[in-house]
A = this chain, B = another copy of it.
Amino acid sequence: MANEPWLDEDEQQAWRGYLLMNKTLETHLTRHLQREFGLSASDFEILVNLSESATGRMRAFELGEATQWEKSRMSHHLSRMEKRGLIRKEACDARYPEIVLTDEGLAAIKACAPAHARRVRELFVDVLGKDRLVALGEAAGEVVAEVEKHQQTNCPPEIRGYC
């Protein structure tokens, strides 16, 4: 296998199909959030994470782990969201402020969540149906575990954040 990486025709077709589904769904859901609620996919991701945390507040590095964004992207995006009043930074510790969901941010996520969930149900959950959905969730867990195993095995600690 190390000498023959190429996918055969069925594998290639499935992989391309999977990529096309991801892109099609993501593009559609993102445009919907942007058009109807003025939120980017990045805004939505931060708001979901904060609103689901027990306290409505997280450190930037915790948001970084949850989103897998690079540090500079996180920093720039949080600044933009702060200017728009969706979050604020509370400096309990000057170097590592907590990121706090504002009332406005909470209102924004509450406003879009039902419409977003409806799209996800209509375009994904109901199309797959219960059995295929659960099977996909299981397969997804295995893939994530395999990537993590690969990183542990192949990536020295100093490049792990780029690996």
User: Which B residue sits closest to A159, measured CB to CB?
Assistant: B35
Category for how many chain A residues contact B: 35 or more
A35 / chain B contacts, CB cutoff of 8 Å:
159, 162-163
Bound-state Cα–Cα, A139 to B155, Å? 33
Tell me whether A118 and B5 are in contact (CB under 8 A): yes
CB distance from A146 to the nearest CB of B (A): 5
**Contacts of A136 on B, CB cut-off 8 Å?**
14, 17-18, 136, 139
On chain B, the residues within 8 Å of A120 by CB distance are 7, 15
A25-B143, A35-B159, A127-B143 known; A18 vs B117 contact (CB < 8 Å): no
- Least Cβ–Cβ distance between A64 and chain B, in angstroms: 12
Chain B residues with Cβ below 8 Å from A143 are 21, 24-25, 123-124, 127-128
Q: Besides A11-B121, A21-B139, 9 other CB < 8 A contacts?
A: A10-B130, A11-B133, A14-B137, A15-B125, A17-B137, A18-B140, A22-B26, A28-B147, A136-B139
Query: In this assembly, does A151 line the interface, its C-beta being within 8 Å of a C-beta of chain B?
Result: yes
Residues from 124 to 152 in A contacting B, C-beta threshold 8 Å: 124-128, 130, 132-144, 146-148, 150-151
For window 85-111 of chain A, which residues contact chain B by CB distance below 8 Å? none
- Name the interface residues of A61-101: CB closer than 8 Å to any CB of B: 67-68
How far, in angstroms, from A39 to B119 measured CA to CA in the complex? Answer: 34
Q: Give the distance in Å from the alpha carbon of A10 to the alpha carbon of B121 in the complex.
A: 13
A16 to chain B: closest residue by CB: B137
Shortest C-beta distance, A28 to chain B (Å), equals: 5
In the complex, chain B residues whose CB is within 8 Å of the CB of A67:
23
